[in-house]
Structure 1
Amino acid sequence: MGRVTDNFIKHIESYGFKARIVSIEHIKEIQSDMENTRRIHRDIDNYIGKYIDKFNYGIWENSLKAKSIIIIAIPQPIVRIHFTFGMKRCAAIMPPMYLLNTSNELEKKQKKIIEVTSIIEKILSNENFKAIKTNLPCKLLAARSGLGVYGRNNICYIDNESSFYWIGVYMSDMPCKDDSWQKNSIMNACRNCSLCLKNCPRGAIADDRFIIHANKCITLYNECEGDFPKWMDSNCHNSIIGCMKCQMICPVNKNYIRNIEDLAEFDNDETKMILVKTPLSELPETTYKKLKSINFIEDYNLLARNLKALISSRLL
């Protein structure tokens, strides 16, 4: 790898991040991979095609003369949020990555992503290069770049270490020499293990194929508005958003399961206001700030429904 890319990775790692850099030439291969997945697995196209449609494979042609793709992975803890019901104080968990998770349209307003982008821009500016945050298949790029590897649960494990990371992708005019492009592979730890398959509430992880059955994935439904399917019984719900069933049971994650950050606590009045869907504009400023600290402003319209689901499952 060239001096410039070596220096970039060295500096980015000083912030506790991990990174790989690959040539921009691979972007068409990434697009082809995604299109093939949609064509072969129609359920993927039907259920998450609207997300795949938002990937932007052409931004590098119109903005800067991009020569490389930078893939960044940032370690993230499980978050614990406390709610109060009468005199009872209860805890709900939120999976890693959600503190930085946002729609592509609102990334430029997300404080933590702004901070990450600023760090990348600062490092690159020392060599007179630039970078632009872009919306591309993060897990796939992490796996193809060698930064991560897929688990049987289709989640990306960074450096075979854990799945508790947020992954971001940037285009840059920084040259890339001797990139680390490789074929997809599955973690060695998964080859004789089926714990995530057995622990998946509705069988989204199965033996008949590697790609999960999107229509059976809990995360698909509690990240979107609307009523839950009738088959989603109370045993399915385990997180305030997303699902932790396959990650909590995974042996590779065992050293990181106890890395939990207590981030916010809502008193009885605040919990009541959330449950009755009080509009954000009518919430007290202190409550609004708490929601912002757990990155639940954009997804506030999901919070009451998801919280009630946890109550019905007796996890709260």
Structure 2
Amino acid sequence: MFELVRQEISRHGEKPSILPIERLEDIKQDIEDLKTRYNLNGFQKYIINDIYELDLPETEFEIRSIILVASASPWMVKVNFHWKGKRITLPIPATYTDFISAPNNTEQYLREYLSPKDYHVIAAPRLPRKLLAVRSGLGAYGRNNICYVDGFGSFLNISPFYTDIPCTEDSWCEIRQMDSCKGCKACINNCPTSSILDDRFLIDNERCLTTFNERDSKDDFPQWIDMASHNSLVGCLRCQTICPANKKHMSSKVESYDFSEEETGSLLEGLAMEQLSEELKQKVQQLGLGYWVNAFPRNLKVIFAREGI
């Protein structure tokens, strides 16, 4: 049955893998091994203890497998901010724009395909996506601890699903890093906050720029972060755009959005989503950034100050 599902997923331009549900216990052990092997920081403990959900949910069907689906994202989206007579163009990692829409779209077409065949699927967004993708053979880690999938590079979304599809072949793989990472330090040298470590598999995500620029604007950037480090409205692309494994995936046409002076002013004021004009709200939602709108005032002010406006 999974071969038919694989064909359907491929028809949508996406790539799947599958694991028997029994492997969830091994994933739990992987997490425990991380706790033992590494001195985890507070943010890593938060992800493991509060974000991940490794217990099976109650469903109307018997969960027999986990399907992982990788969908390609454009490598970035451009946003043009008009302010004080100048235009400042900033990138946004495109995974923000389809972080919600990609799994929703995949779940919808899977349900439409499986329902007539009396099979079921339900999204499992709080499973450890990268770990499952690597363990199932769908992807491999980069030195930057991001997951890469052949044909997509790291510009992708990984969507996990519980299903009652039988898994007759176990594709369980060792946790591995891409072969091309051996001897390469491009991402280490290009990381603006030195969060990618040469002697450790996990990055120091408490130093990662994304950790700081996704926070509410009431939290200022630490003084040790150089103003030149800021390269995106939210998130950071430095470790991905420098990566040799991504070069061939960075030629696609880039979509852009324009924010007028009035709209930029509203974002700088720190207005909540419900206070924004309908047109501005729609732009923010299309970019998938509604959750981070409170981070915009600080991020924009720092970048505008650097540009002398």
Shorter-chain TM band: over 0.9
Q: Of residues 31, 36, 40 in structure 1, which corresponds to 2:28?
A: 31
The amino acid across from 1:11 in the alignment is: E
Gaps of 5+ in 2: none
Which amino acid in the other structure matches residue 238 of structure 2? K
The superposition leaves residues 273-313 of structure 1 with CA deviations (integer Å, 9 ceiling, x where unpaired) of: 10111232222111111111101112211122222233244
| Residue 173 of structure 2: aligned partner | 182
Equivalent residue letter for 1:86: K
Q: CA deviation at 1:63?
A: 5.3
Alignment of structure 1 residues 104-183 onto 2, 5 Å? 110-134=100-124, 135-159=126-150, 161-183=152-174
Of 255, 259, 272 in structure 2, the residue corresponding to residue 266 of structure 1 is: 259
2:203 aligned to 212, 215, 221, which one? 212
Which secondary structure state, in structure 1, belongs to the residue aligned with residue 77 of structure 2? strand
**SS, match of residue 43 in structure 1:** coil
CA offsets per residue over residues 82-107 of structure 1, 9 Å max, x none? 11113222211111311133xxxxxx
Paired residues for 1:36-115 under 5 Å: 36-44=33-41, 46-52=42-48, 53-60=50-57, 64-77=61-74, 78-101=76-99, 110-115=100-105
Aligned twin of 1:199: 190
Shift of 1:5: 0.3
TM-score normalised to structure 2 length: 0.92
Runs of 4+ in 1 over 6 A off after TM superposition: none
Distance 2:152 2:285 in 1: 29
User: How many residues matched?
Assistant: 304
Contact 1:82-1:265 within 8 A present in 2 as well: yes
User: Which segment is superposed worse, 73-82 or 278-287?
Assistant: 278-287
Kindly indicate whether the alpha-carbon contact (under 8 Å) linking 2:144 and 2:188 is maintained by their aligned counterparts in 1.
yes
Deviations 1:249-294 (A, max 9, x none): 0011111223253242111110011011123222211111111110
* More off after superposition, 140-149 vs 210-219: 210-219
Tell me the TM-score normalized by structure 1: 0.90
Residue of structure 1 in register with 2:11 after alignment: 14
Alignment partner of 2:40: what SS?
helix
1:4-31 CA distance string (max 9 Å, x none):
1001011111111111011111111112
When the two chains are superposed, the root-mean-square deviation of aligned CA atoms in Å is 1.9
> What is the identity percentage for the equivalent residue pairs of Structure 1 and Structure 2?
33
